[in-house]
Amino acid sequence: MWNFRLGENAIALNMVVDCKSHNVDNATYSVMGSNDTHRELSKAPSQIEGVPSCRYTTAMARTNTVANLTKLEMESEGVTVEIPFKVARYTSPKPVVICISPQFVAEQWQIFMMQVHVAHRFYAHLHIYLTSIIESYFHLMREYERRGYLTIDFWLRMKFAKSETPFFEPNGHVEWRNQAGAQIDCLLQYKEAAEYIAFFDMDDILFPKNYQTYLEEFSAEWLVDPTSNSIYYGRREHEFVKAETLSEFNFKDLVSSLRSSPTVKRGKVVVRPDRYNSTWIHYSWHDLNRREILSPNLVHVQRPLQKNGSNKITETWKMEFGAFNETIKQEDIEAIEEDMKLMKELPNISKISQKLPKSDFYLPIVFDCYYKAFYGAAFDNKPGGFGCPNADLCELPQREEYRCVHSDANYFSGPHMEPLTFHFANNSFWSWSIGCYQ
């Protein structure tokens, strides 16, 4: 097990590596760090996070280098390539950060409204990764970012600018768009700034059971077992009826429409960042001291129901629902509703609300792709094997009336190196011309 404290002048490398062509278990990488007066070569041991069925796996390597770093290079057999780096955060907007997994063709603004206001009520900051999102929804998120509720970050498709050898296209051969890589990025950004970090999907909503803030709730859980690296919440499936417009969106109505399933799926973790260096989608494969929380569960609102449209998800993947059986305090419902009301009355948000989508378009398409690729066989007894969990070939139609903002960057490939050539991106930006794609 690693020492989780990275130490002085630490470097952490967040990578995706071809694990079929190379032995990546406990692989070591050579790193050259330079400042104005010194240059130092060091070895970076690594650990991987991911399933063995994918060709590309997520890896995190770490080492220590010179102070006041100005240049970072990867080295192999005398060949080097300079790579970009960013400095970790030393302050956090709030003591609890919730890292939200990458969103693509995002349109479910109702779930976002639930997540952002619940997090705000219980004093957490959202860090949201975006690949692509409906333009009006993007502007809605930005208004919340301006008011300190959240931070929006880029999550990029992987591209090779050039290659001297044949390769497998990485996006189609990595687990779920390299979601683990996004969570590692978020962990490393806040590792020395936040007291607790949660790794949730947008539709994973946590209502504290015993305390008024996440900080108090998590701190109390760690008093039960101070040696834990993380605490693990199961995800209970829920459905709810969603409003078609922001003006009619009402948190009290949403809560009253929630219905619970007996099904509790594989969950998510909240971690002590000083005891975590990398993670997977649900938890780190290297975490040998994870404590399960029996109650509450995450309210997994994966099944939003349209009032006036078809709900194909419920037809494809049938599940029983009954009375809501998690706990939301009345005082919290009222406080969240009041906070929502104040935000909805802001002129910019009122203007944006008129352009938000009223009905599902991408949700049933993406769900069908995921069901065929993984959910059906994994959870619904459908025939089919378990390959690499990936739906990158999902066909996503484009629409003139609802265009997407998409993450983009400048892509670079280093010189040919043995055993691995390094490809990377820099100078990320938002593009209005790519379209609604993964």
Q: Copy the structure tokens of residue 308.
A: 């006036």
Answer whether 260's CB lies under 8 Å from 321's CB: yes
Compute the distance between CA of residue 150 and CA of residue 138 in angstroms, rounded to an integer.
Answer: 13
Domain total in the chain? 2
For residue 56, is it within any domain?
A: yes
Q: 3-class DSSP state for residue 166?
A: coil
- Statement to judge: residues 50 and 105 lie in one domain: no
- Statement to judge: residues 336 and 193 lie in one domain: yes
- Statement to judge: residues 75 and 109 lie in one domain: no
* DSSP 8-state secondary structure symbol assigned to residue 27: -
Q: What CATH number is associated with residue 346?
A: 3.90.550
Last residue of a domain, one of 336, 361, 380: 380
- Statement to judge: residues 190 and 71 lie in one domain: no
- Statement to judge: residues 39 and 185 lie in one domain: no
- Statement to judge: residues 107 and 254 lie in one domain: yes
- Statement to judge: residues 272 and 308 lie in one domain: yes
Compute the distance between CA of residue 148 and CA of residue 130 in angstroms, rounded to an integer.
Answer: 17
- Statement to judge: residues 163 and 32 lie in one domain: no
Q: Which residues contact 1 (CB under 8 A, 6 or more apart)?
A: 286, 288
Q: Give Cα 271 distance to the centre of its chain.
A: 15
**Is the alpha carbon torsion for 323, 327, 330, 332 positive or negative?**
negative
pLDDT tens readout for residues 183-236: 999 999 999 999 999 999 999 999 999 999 999 999 999 999 999 999 999 999
Last residue of a domain, one of 380, 398, 430: 380
pLDDT tens readout for residues 249-268: 999 999 999 999 999 999 99
- Statement to judge: residues 74 and 146 lie in one domain: no
Compute the distance between CA of residue 403 and CA of residue 417 in angstroms, rounded to an integer.
Answer: 40
Which range marks the domain in which residue 57 is found? Answer: 10-82
- Statement to judge: residues 203 and 314 lie in one domain: yes
Kind plus residue range of the DSSP H or E element containing 352:
helix 347-353
For residue 313, is it within any domain?
A: yes
Q: Which pTM does this prediction carry?
A: 0.96
CA angle 335, 196, 328 (to 5 degrees): 30
Q: Give Cα 96 distance to the centre of its chain.
A: 15
**Is the alpha carbon torsion for 238, 244, 245, 251 positive or negative?**
negative
Last residue of a domain, one of 380, 399, 421: 380
The predicted structure's pLDDT at residue 1? 43
Cα→Cα distances 182→45, 156, 437, Å: 20, 10, 18
Looking at every residue in the chain, the average pLDDT score rounds to 94
Phi, psi of 182 (to 5 degrees): -65, -40
- Statement to judge: residues 39 and 129 lie in one domain: no
The predicted structure's pLDDT at residue 309? 78
